[in-house]
Amino acid sequence: MFCIKCGTQLPEEANFCMKCGHPQTPVVTQPPAEETQWEHCKIDCIQVKEKWSLFGKEILQFVARKEGCPDHIAASKTFQLSGFEIGCPSEKSKLHRTTLQELVDQLKKDSWEPSETRPSVWYRLQFRRR
């Protein structure tokens, strides 16, 4: 490569010209930081009730809570596990996932969008909204 100012031949990786000192890489100006305030919400799975009968029953709820004010519930979905599902992990997780999907759809309809953060637990999805 050649210096963009004086034309001196420079090594390819040169950041500055060895002769005139002119920087060889244009200075990238960062666009101003986005000032939009995002609302955040996080999904949690809570156990509402555990009522064991002959067939077993467990009531669970996926709750999307707004960060900063845990009393504000953006959306929630309750679902019930029967003894059959509790005894069968694949059925149990199928029910978990369909319920979670319903909650996600509800949030999206409400203009929440998934934020980039990878959840630490699979159901702990995070959403944000302007």
Q: Given the rule CB under 5 A, which residues bind Zn ion? A: 3, 5-6, 8, 17, 19-20, 22
Closer residue to Zn ion (CB): 20 or 73: 20
Q: Are 82 and 57 in contact (CB under 8 A)?
A: yes
In this complex, which beta carbon is closest to Zn ion, that of residue 20 or of residue 46?
Answer: 20
- What single-letter DSSP state applies at residue 34? P
Closer residue to Zn ion, CB minimum distance, 3 or 64 = 3
Report the nearest approach of Zn ion to the CB of residue 22 (Å): 5
Alpha-carbon distance of 123 to 62, in angstroms, equals 8
As measured in angstroms, the least distance from the Cβ of 68 to Zn ion is 53
Closer CB to Zn ion, 9 or 93, in the complex: 9
The burial of 107, by beta-carbon neighbours within 10 Å (0-12 exposed, 13-18 middle, 19 or more buried), is given as buried
Residue 21: CB minimum distance to Zn ion, A: 7
Q: What is the dihedral of CA 85, 97, 46, 66, to 10 degrees?
A: -170
